[in-house]
Amino acid sequence: MALIVQKYGGTSVGSPERISKVAEKVAKSYREGNQIVVVVSAMSGETNRLLNLAAEVSDRPSLREMDVLLSTGEQVTIALLCMALHQAGMKAISYTGGQVHILTDNVHSKARIKNIDGKKIRSDLEAGSIVVVAGFQGMDESGNITTLGRGGSDTTAVALAAALKASECQIYTDVDGVYTTDPRMVSDARRLKTITYEEMLELASLGAKVLQIRSVEFASKFKVPLRVLSSFEEGEGTLITSEDKNMEQALISGIAFNKDEAKLTLVGVPDQPGVAHRILGPIGRANIEVDMIIQNVGVDNTTDFTFTVHRNDYVQAMEVLENVRQELGAASIAGDEKIVKLSLVGVGMRSHAGIASTMFETLANEGINIRMISTSEIKISVVIDEKYLELGVRALHSTFELDQISA
């Protein structure tokens, strides 16, 4: 008998009808001979509704009380789902995070899970019950309710799967898996059958926002097989798992892009020790996160220094940089908000040379100028002009034959 953790997101439980549909799906998995733990999100829109209520009574609501408030969203769903399961003739019992001892630190609004005691859940499962747990929440050592950050129900599900040594953690959502790139941009994007944790982390952080990133990190650490699948359609979805040396690995598994970046350059900086620090120090102190960084080879004792930040931080970053320019006596600053980052991701590139040059050749053939390049073991990212984003993604998708991947 397999133990499966299933997580249903906000849209999947967005109405009473949908909750009844989820109950049917859960009942079906149970009847197939599995033990089932279900984790649910708040009904769609509910967490935002609660956030707005708080804003109406307070300018700066206490984070502790915020957690008490937000955790109620999931509490509604667990009760309704259990009722729907009873209606379908199943034995089911609901618990809040605290009730099943999901112990977290005390950082309200973004707590981290420290420990889970699976005893109670196990004994309910043994007794033939389906166990329904509220996602997104836990309890600190003093018994205060905590929440895990937006999208945190994914992390609850993975953490429970790890603690219970489940054979799989299934994340049911409104997409039917992880795609080679955004299907809204490339119509022949394909659903991937499998992908490694590492690849998923790269794709997620680059904008393929299917899962809370922390849940993937958690799954990777505890080797929990994680499957993303649709709650509305049948299908196997995408399995996220460890790299399998025997598995025939596609060279590239996906193309991610990020439209939220902006680029800044300090021109004619004195080429001396400590300069990079004197540029990025003030940026960091202004709480601006830096993504890519490039420093050119110095000529005549000066150099150019370029980096990218989130577009929302662009104006502020330019201001900070102007101060730095004056301090360092650099020649000028320049900036560009109309750029995007495009990345090829694939564990297969580890063992294959020439991926980068094929990528650059493809972009060159389309007349796309590359403004910045950075690489890691399983990723090559380029910064290009925003207007070439679609062209670039489509060209690369076809060069690397991502439309041929069989799902």
Separation between Cα atoms, residue 222 and residue 163, nearest integer Å = 9
Residue with tokens 């309200």: 108
Q: Does 138 bind ligand ASP (CB under 6 A)?
A: no
Separation between Cα atoms, residue 249 and residue 224, nearest integer Å = 20
Q: Which of residues 357-386 bind ligand ASP (CB under 6 A)?
A: none
Q: Does 47 bind ligand ASP (CB under 6 A)?
A: yes
For 218-263, the DSSP string reads: HHHHHT--EEEEESSS-S--EEEE---TTSPPPS--EEEEE-SEEE
Q: x-or-dash pattern for ligand ASP, window 71-110, by CB under 6 A?
A: --x-------------------------------------
Q: x-or-dash pattern for Mg ion, window 321-360, by CB under 5 A?
A: ----------------------------------------
Q: Does 129 bind ligand ASP (CB under 6 A)?
A: no
Q: Does 135 bind ligand ASP (CB under 6 A)?
A: yes
Cβ closest to Mg ion, residue 112 vs residue 311: 112
Q: Does 4 bind ligand ASP (CB under 6 A)?
A: no
Q: Find, among 145, 93, 144, 143, the residue nearest to 122 by Cα.
A: 93
Q: Does 150 bind ligand ASP (CB under 6 A)?
A: yes
Q: Which of 4, 10, 18, 389 binds ligand ASP (CB under 6 A)?
A: 10
Beta bridge partners of 38: 6, 132
218 binds, among Mg ion, ligand ASP, none (CB under 5 to 8 A by kind): none
The answer to whether 209 and 233 have CB atoms below 8 angstroms apart is no
42 binds, among Mg ion, ligand ASP, none (CB under 5 to 8 A by kind): ligand ASP
Q: How many residues line the site for ligand ASP (CB under 6 A)?
A: 11
| SS3 at position 305 | strand
Q: Does 14 bind ligand ASP (CB under 6 A)?
A: no
Quote the least distance from Cβ 45 to ligand ASP, whole Å. 9
Quote the least distance from Cβ 135 to Mg ion, whole Å. 9
The answer to whether 385 and 339 have CB atoms below 8 angstroms apart is yes
Quote the least distance from Cβ 302 to ligand ASP, whole Å. 48
Q: Which of 151, 177, 346, 392 binds ligand ASP (CB under 6 A)?
A: 151
Q: Does 172 bind ligand ASP (CB under 6 A)?
A: no
Q: Find, among 339, 400, 399, the residue nearest to 369 by Cα.
A: 339
101 phi and psi angles, rounded to 5 deg: 55, 50
> What is the separation of C-alpha 80 from the centre of its chain, rounded to a whole number of angstroms?
28
Strands 102-104 and 113-116: antiparallel
Q: Does 151 bind Mg ion (CB under 5 A)?
A: yes
The DSSP code for 372 is: E
Q: Which of residues 27-46 bind ligand ASP (CB under 6 A)?
A: 41-42
136 binds, among Mg ion, ligand ASP, none (CB under 5 to 8 A by kind): ligand ASP
152 binds, among ligand ASP, Mg ion, none (CB under 5 to 8 A by kind): ligand ASP
Q: Does 186 bind ligand ASP (CB under 6 A)?
A: no
Find the part of the chain contacting ligand ASP (CB under 6 A) among 60-68, 146-154, 190-198, 328-336: 146-154
Separation between Cα atoms, residue 196 and residue 254, nearest integer Å = 11
Give me 205's structure tokens: 């952080």
Quote the least distance from Cβ 86 to ligand ASP, whole Å. 24
Q: Find, among 66, 84, 72, the residue nearest to 132 by Cα.
A: 84
Separation between Cα atoms, residue 161 and residue 118, nearest integer Å = 10
Q: How many residues line the site for Mg ion (CB under 5 A)?
A: 2
Separation between Cα atoms, residue 328 and residue 319, nearest integer Å = 15
Q: Does 9 bind Mg ion (CB under 5 A)?
A: yes
200: left (phi over 0), alpha (psi -120 to 50) or beta: alpha
Contacting positions for ligand ASP (CB under 6 A): 10, 41-42, 47, 73, 135-136, 150-153
Contacting positions for Mg ion (CB under 5 A): 9, 151
